[in-house]
């Protein structure tokens, strides 16, 4: 990862800060050390250019950190790079840092910077011109059967305060997320069903987490996956459709997946906002984001 270190420092300062903030916000707080600052303001001070927060975060938190940068959280190639980078950092080697968790592996801040610098290099010019991670106020929309745009905005429950620390809305200029679109082409039909299964593990933990307002890339990814349940329906007609147990069972059968009826019902009950426990597109989007599939 050392070869990419100079690439990180060549990025606009605002983008460097956003990359660091995503790492800090996702990871555990840096443990305090004895002999630190006292109540009178004395003690040791961090260098001005040294960001606060942890020096390492658990590998299993990397998908959540990627989401904060509006990067696909389940890209197998990207996760493989982080997995390789984490091979040298285990719980035993980090015991002195107060990060001891049984058999966990960790990703260091330098490796995080290096990988993200490569992933976000194509956006550097946009940030130099004052743009932000926020894509566009014109998010992809699901069209109703009558041809009118359905309301694609998410409810207030989608808004997560920590997201606002990392990105600002730029409602005047449209930002094209080419990297995200390239990654979305890897998703096949299997995502629709295996993603549903992943969202069930465990239900209590997932239901406690409210996703932030979906970005343009996330909504497009979710729309592509949602449409797999209705292959014969054009995108203009998806807005009024809902996923039921029968739809999940049909897709699971086509893909050779074995899903128990209680698993399917549990998933629908967890994310559905409809009295009949079916999932509309907004419900499905929330499930995809919580399950780190978008």
The pLDDT tens digits for 65-112 are 999 999 999 999 999 999 998 876 555 555 555 544 556 889 999 999
Residue 95 and residue 171 in one domain = no
Over residues 16-29, the pLDDT tens digits come to 999 999 999 998 77
Which residues share a beta bridge with 105?
90
- Flag whether pLDDT at 2 surpasses 90: no
- Flag whether pLDDT at 195 surpasses 60: no
List the domain range (segments joined by +) for residue 83: 2-29+50-128
What CATH code is carried by the domain that includes residue 245? 1.10.238.10
Q: How many domains does the chain have?
A: 2
Q: Which conformational region is residue 127 in: left (phi greater than 0), alpha (psi within -120 to 50 degrees), or beta?
A: alpha
Over residues 232-251, the pLDDT tens digits come to 999 888 989 999 999 999 98
Q: For residue 149, what pLDDT is reported?
A: 40
Last residue of a domain, one of 128, 146, 179: 128
Over residues 39-68, the pLDDT tens digits come to 444 444 444 455 678 899 999 999 999 999
What CATH code is carried by the domain that includes residue 16? 1.10.238
**What b/e string do you get for 72-90 counting C-beta neighbours within 10 Å, with b at 16 or more?**
bbbbeebbebbeebbeebe
| Residue 138 falls inside a structural domain | no
What number of residues does the chain have? Answer: 294
| Residue 225 falls inside a structural domain | yes
Residue 104 and residue 202 in one domain = no
Residue 161 and residue 274 in one domain = yes
CB burial of residue 116 (10 Å; 0-12, 13-18, 19+): buried
Work out whether the CA dihedral 115, 116, 120, 126 comes out positive or negative. negative
Q: Which residue has the higher pLDDT, 210 or 267?
A: 267
| Residue 42 falls inside a structural domain | no
Top mean pLDDT of 120-124, 210-214, 250-254, 281-285 is at: 281-285
Q: Which of 192, 159, 205 is nearest to 294 (CA)?
A: 192
């Amino acid at each position: 990862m050392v070869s990419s270190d100079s690439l990180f420092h060549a990025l606009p300062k605002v983008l460097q800060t956003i990359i660091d903030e995503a790492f800090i916000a996702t990871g555990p707080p840096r443990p305090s050390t004895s002999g630190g600052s006292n109540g009178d303001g004395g003690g040791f001070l961090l260098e001005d250019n040294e960001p606060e927060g942890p020096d390492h975060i658990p590998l299993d938190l990397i998908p959540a950190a990627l989401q904060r940068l509006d990067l696909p959280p389940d890209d197998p190639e990207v996760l493989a790079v982080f997995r390789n980078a984490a091979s040298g950092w285990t719980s035993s080697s980090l015991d002195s840092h107060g990060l001891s968790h049984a058999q966990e592996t960790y990703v260091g801040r330098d490796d995080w910077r290096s990988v993200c610098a490569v992933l976000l290099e194509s956006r550097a010019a946009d940030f130099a011109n004052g743009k932000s991670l926020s894509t566009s106020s014109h998010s992809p929309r699901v069209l109703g059967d009558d041809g009118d745009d359905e309301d694609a905005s998410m409810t207030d429950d989608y808004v997560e305060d920590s997201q606002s620390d990392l990105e600002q809305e730029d409602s005047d200029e449209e930002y094209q997320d080419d990297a995200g679109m390239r990654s979305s082409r890897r998703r096949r039909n299997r995502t629709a069903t295996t993603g549903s299964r992943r969202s069930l593990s465990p239900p209590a933990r997932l239901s406690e987490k409210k996703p932030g307002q979906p970005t343009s890339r996330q909504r497009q990814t979710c729309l592509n996956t949602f449409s797999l349940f209705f292959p014969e329906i054009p995108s203009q007609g998806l807005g009024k459709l809902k996923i039921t147990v029968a739809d999940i069972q049909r897709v699971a059968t086509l893909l050779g997946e074995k899903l128990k009826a209680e698993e399917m019902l549990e998933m629908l009950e967890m994310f559905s906002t409809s009295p009949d426990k079916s999932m509309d597109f907004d419900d499905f989007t929330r499930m995809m984001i919580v399950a780190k599939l978008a």
